[in-house]
Amino acid sequence: MKKVLHFIDESLEEAFAVIAMALMAVIMGIQVIARYVFNSSLSWPEEVSVYLLIWMGMLSLSYCIRKNASIKVEMIIDLFPEKVRKFFHLLEDIISILFYGLLTIPAWQFFQGVVKSGQVSPALHIPMTLIQVAPFVACILAVIRSVEHIVFLFRRQAPEAEEKKEV
């Protein structure tokens, strides 16, 4: 169980992105072969690829927070002493928690609308709830990753400190 939790904490978004990209490559390869070799186009490959891309895009949000790769002006923050930098990083994480926490509300409402409509995808007829839940999941994961950042910050094990040591 501990290994599973460690994997989820360290590699969830990366593993999903690798699997999704590999699936997209294979699926679109099948589509290219079907279209140009057999002169027949399949209806489902584009749909699956778009849905995988949506999930990858949504999960990249929490991945970027986890890897401390969000857009910010780090050069200016680095000019300050350590305690001031720590304050700015804490402020950044608090703002992220508030922002993504607030975004969970419309993401949930959007998801509930799709649940009530019972909408299915055009080609595969899969429930659109599997796709439309992505923004909600992304916001929840972003809040969790931002909370992790605060914990790391106070433990002095911030992910950015680990990455700077590796370089």
Provide the CB-side half-sphere exposure for 78 (13 A, CA): 6
Reduced to 3 states (helix: H, G, I; strand: E, B; else coil), residue 127 is: strand
Domain residue ranges in the chain? 2-166
Distance CA 130, CA 144 (A): 21
Give the per-residue pLDDT at 160.
52
Residue pLDDT, tens place only, 2-27: 787 777 777 788 888 899 999 999 99
Which pair of tokens denotes residue 124? 């595969």
| Residue 37 dihedral angles phi and psi, to the nearest 5° | -95, -45
Taking residues 46-58, what's their average pLDDT? 92
Residue pLDDT, tens place only, 80-110: 888 888 888 889 899 999 999 999 999 999 9
> The tokens 């930098």 sit on which residue?
85
How many Å is the Cα radius of gyration of the chain? 20
Distance CA 105, CA 52 (A): 23
pLDDT band at 62 (very low <50, low <70, confident <90, very high): confident
